[in-house]
Amino acid sequence: MSKEKTKKDNTEEILEEEETQEVAEEVVEKVKEESAEEKLAKELEAQKDMYLRLRAEYDNYRKRTSQEKLNIYADATAKAVEELLPLADSLVAAMNTQASEADAKGIELVSNQFFTCLEKLNVKAFGEIGDEFNPEFHNAVSMTENPELGKNTLAAVFQKGFKIGDKVIRPAMVVVANCN
């Protein structure tokens, strides 16, 4: 009997070991499945992150190229207008000369048309008597004392300045009053 009992015990032990081994294999399989799911979740998260970064990079690229196009347009317009400014100076000088009434009227019409075209290009003239002196916009050619004007104000304008937006095409040539 002891042999039978030993065989029976051995068989039970073997069965228990097989069951334990099966349970262990199931646990290992579940862990592998979980780790596979975790791997996939991490990979998905990495792909989402990469997509968001790529999307932000593209958006920045689009904005940067759009701004560069605007700057190129503004620079080209400024260069073209800079070449036309001597014509504006000549028109202003012609209006200030003693001419016949018909000639003065013609010069005034051409001058108005020219300055209207500059306005359409967003070109603005600056530098009026009484304005405050700003070295970013004005080129001071001399100084004077004038009690009627405030400190650091423009007393005379020899040549108007022009700008497009914030970009100065040509600074105004001015006389500054009361700058000590």
Helix (H, G, I), strand (E, B) or coil at 180: coil
Q: What is the pLDDT of residue 70?
A: 87
**Are 89 and 159 a contacting pair, CB within 8 Å?**
yes
Q: What is the pLDDT of residue 18?
A: 74
When computed from its CA atoms, the radius of gyration of the chain, rounded to whole angstroms, is: 42
User: pLDDT for 44-67, tens place per residue?
Assistant: 999 999 999 999 999 999 999 999
For residues 137 and 24, the model is more confident at 137
List the one residue out of 139, 132, 129 whose CA is nearest residue 170.
139
Q: What is the pLDDT of residue 6?
A: 67
User: pLDDT for 111-167, tens place per residue?
Assistant: 999 999 999 998 999 989 888 898 899 999 988 888 888 888 898 999 999 998 888
- pTM of the predicted structure, to 2 decimals: 0.61
**Are 118 and 82 a contacting pair, CB within 8 Å?**
no
Residue for token pair 């006389």: 175
- Domains (ranges, CATH) in the chain? 124-180 (2.30.22.10)
- Sheet of 123-126: strand order equals 123-126, 161-164, 167-170
